[in-house]
Amino acid sequence: MGSKTLVVSMLGAAVALTAGVASAQDDMNSNFRDGVGMPLRPADAAAQGWTLETRGHSICQVRLGAAAVSTGVYRTAIPADCGQVLPAGVVGWKPVTDGAALVDGQGQVLIDFNRWSNSLLVSHQSNGVDIQLRRGG
């Protein structure tokens, strides 16, 4: 291989490497913008209603509010028809490290949802069934 070919090959590799790093940074920035793995902010949660889903079916509409009912716990409206999927005793919600959690009157987490995007929160249950909160309806 001649020196000119070697230089062109090395230049091509450097361009490919730079493009790969830029692409990874774009993916990280996109995830940051989408909120993946970040706490759900009360203002973002209250912007629209959420649809509770499991096994590919919509169960009910849930409202996560921005008004605090106690320190770090925010108002929620969960209709009775959600009862078959959610644990009993939910009185509010709170931001957690990577999403949001529904809590009881003492602020104890009853069900935790990981934030997959600005419009999707997912809770993996021990029985293998996922429960999702999807923004909108």
| pLDDT tens column, 45-89 | 997 899 999 999 999 999 999 999 999 999 999 998 887 899 999
Q: What is the pLDDT of residue 58?
A: 94
Closest CA to 44 of 107, 111, 109, 121: 121
| pLDDT tens column, 110-135 | 999 999 988 999 999 988 899 999 99
| Answer CATH for 42-135 from 2.40.128.10, 3.40.50.2300, 3.50.50.60, 3.30.43.10 | 2.40.128.10
Give residue limits of the domains in the chain. Answer: 1-34, 42-135
pLDDT: is 18 or 34 the higher one? 34
- 3-class secondary structure, 86: coil
How would you class 5 by CB atoms within 10 Å of its CB: exposed for 0-12, middle for 13-18, buried for 19 or more? exposed
pLDDT at 18 over 50: no
Q: Burial letters for 86-109: b for 16+ Cβ neighbours within 10 Å, e otherwise?
A: beeebbbbbbbebbbbbbeeeeee
Structure tokens at 105: 């009157």
% pLDDT > 90, the chain: 59
